[in-house]
Structure formats: C-alpha cells, structure tokens
C-alpha cells in the first residue's frame, strides 16, 4: 500500500511539473553596473565596455511567478586603469532570478524582474600578473515588457540596473 501511495505521489508530481511552462531567453544589456561601480572594476578608472550578454532559463511555478537561473558575460578595458597603466577585465555572473507578471492582455505582458548571485571578475593588468576577484551580483528591473509573436516565441525589453544592464532587449522561447 505504501509503495502504491508513493508511486501515485511521484506520478502526480511529474504531471504537475509537466503542466508548467519553461522559457529560455537570450538578451543584450547596455551599460551594465560593472562600468559604473568601482567595486566591480576594482577601482580601475575609465573602464570601457560593450555591454552584457545574458542567457536565462525560467520556470513558471505558480501563476504570474517565474523563477530561474541566468548567466551573464561582459568584458571591458581601461587605458588608464591605475597610474597610466592599462588593463582588461572580464565578468561572469550566475544569478537566481524571479519575474512577476503583473499585467497580461493578449500578446502583451508587463512584469518586474530581480536577480541575485555571484560575480567572478578576471583582471589582466599591464603592470602585474592576472588575478581573480568575486563579489555580489544583482539585477533589479522594475519594468519589463514581453510581446508574444508566434505563441512560444516572444521579444522582451527591460529597464533597470545591475550586471545585466540598464536597458535590456532579447528573445524568449517557451516550451
């Protein structure tokens, strides 16, 4: 009897998980926090970068709430890192994310997004050997909008602040 109850519980769990939706997304974020905050650039001066590339996997656990993991990559350089020396830095962030949809009408969804995690920084200065540092990673995007294009495929944009960028645009694929 216990085995039958355990098997039933496992089957119910599997069915409820399969009824949930999962999304993967890729995005570009402009002007991430690494270029603005001294803690993320190890107080190097005038760090120039191209933005951040982000990859996310989200799962809808309850109505309107998505939880997931994201990876962010960015790099930059400084012609005046310390005392007229130059250097390059690369950032890798891994974060846990939450996204809450607070408005949905037809193909349009409005939401808020937040993430926290770890940021690994790899520095290559011209005046000393390369070294690593790690610190806290975050992203807070109070306003995001997603438009579904072909049912499972959508485009999105977010405005906020953090390692993923001040303004972020990308695509999402649901399955």
The CATH number given to whatever domain includes residue 127 is 2.40.160.20
Would residue 9 count as lying in a domain?
Answer: no
Q: Is residue 98 part of a domain?
A: yes
pLDDT in tens, 30-80: 988 887 776 666 677 677 889 999 999 999 989 999 999 999 999 988 876
The whole-angstrom separation of Cα 39 and Cα 94 is 17
Specify if 121 maps to a domain: yes
Digit-by-digit pLDDT tens for the chain (175 residues) are 555 555 555 544 544 444 459 999 999 999 888 877 766 666 776 778 899 999 999 999 899 999 999 999 999 888 766 677 788 999 999 999 999 999 999 999 999 999 999 999 998 888 889 989 999 999 999 999 999 998 789 999 999 999 999 999 999 999 8
Count of helix runs (H) and strand runs (E) in the chain: 1, 9
The answer as to whether 140 is a domain residue is yes
In which domain, by residue range, is 97 found? 21-174
How far is CA 5 from each of CA 10, 13, 14, 15, 17, rounded to the nearest angstrom?
Answer: 9, 12, 14, 15, 18
Q: In whole angstroms, what is the distance from residue 174 CA to residue 56 CA?
A: 12
11 within domain boundaries: no
By C-alpha distance, which of 108, 109, 101 is closest to 61? 101
86, 107, 143, 170 from 148: Cα distances, Å: 45, 5, 17, 12
Residue 14 lies in a domain: no
């Amino acid at each position: 009897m216990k085995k039958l109850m355990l098997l039933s519980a496992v089957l119910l769990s599997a069915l409820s998980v399969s009824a949930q939706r999962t999304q993967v997304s890729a995005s570009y974020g402009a002007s991430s926090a690494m270029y603005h905050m001294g803690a993320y650039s190890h107080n190097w001066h005038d760090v120039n970068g191209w933005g951040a590339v982000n990859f996310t996997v989200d799962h809808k656990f309850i109505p309107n709430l998505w939880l997931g993991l994201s990876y962010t990559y960015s790099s930059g350089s400084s012609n005046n890192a310390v005392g007229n020396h130059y250097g390059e830095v690369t950032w890798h962030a891994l974060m846990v994310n939450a996204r809450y949809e607070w408005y949905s009408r037809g193909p349009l969804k409005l939401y808020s997004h937040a993430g926290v995690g770890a940021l690994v920084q790899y520095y290559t200065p011209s005046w000393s050997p390369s070294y690593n540092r790690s610190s806290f990673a975050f992203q807070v995007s109070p306003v995001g909008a997603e438009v579904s294009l072909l049912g499972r495929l959508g485009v999105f944009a977010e405005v906020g602040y953090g390692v993923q960028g001040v303004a972020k645009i990308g695509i999402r694929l649901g399955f």
